[in-house]
Amino acid sequence: MRRKDREVTEVRDILNIVGRAKILHLGLFDQEYPYIVPLHYGYELVDGTLVFFMHSAESGQKLALIRNNANVCIELDCDIELISGGDNPCEYGSAFASVIGWGRAEIVSDEEEKIKGLRLLMENQTGRDFEIDSSMASSVAVIKVVVSEFMAKSRPMPHLD
């Protein structure tokens, strides 16, 4: 990472960013060009590994791409705000917090894991614990992304004194 002063290394701080961002950008391989899709997600930390769950229609481009090449990249961001440079355009910037990671995606077939993933998704998106039954889980595809490597950065808004 080039800007070490913006690196976020504490796991609790990284999880805080992951919890505040509500859209995950999933990067997939699509022959000549990358394919990036924004998705709602749920997540958990398992033995130091970030695991994300997203839902999808039961067919479509992203599922076909995952079946063809399960290597993916994820990106999440939050706290985006313009930092003014006044009359000097070179002094403008942005406050932000972000996480980027690399891992493998899979389409979940196990019913219990689909239900777990959907519950985590709803909890992250709404702050509520929903009961998900097998009929709900069977109506969608659930994508699981195990992120084996990740890093985070943050640039908070400067304090005005």
Mean pLDDT of 89-97: 90
* Token representation of residue 158: 């400067």
Q: Structural domain of residue 40, as residue ranges?
A: 4-154
pLDDT at 160 over 90: no
What are φ and ψ of residue 160, in 5° steps? -95, 120
Asked if residue 133 is part of any domain, the answer here is: yes
**Residue 83 counted as domain residue:** yes
Q: What is the mean pLDDT of the chain?
A: 92
DSSP state letters, 8-38: E--HHHHHHHHHH---EEEEEEETTEEEEEE
Residue 150 lies in a domain: yes
pLDDT tens per residue, range 115-141: 999 999 999 999 999 999 999 999 999
What's the CATH number where 16 sits? Answer: 2.30.110.10
Would 159 be classed as within a structural domain?
no
pLDDT band at 7 (very low <50, low <70, confident <90, very high): confident
Tell me if 15 is assigned to some domain: yes
Instruction: State how many domains the chain has.
Output: 1
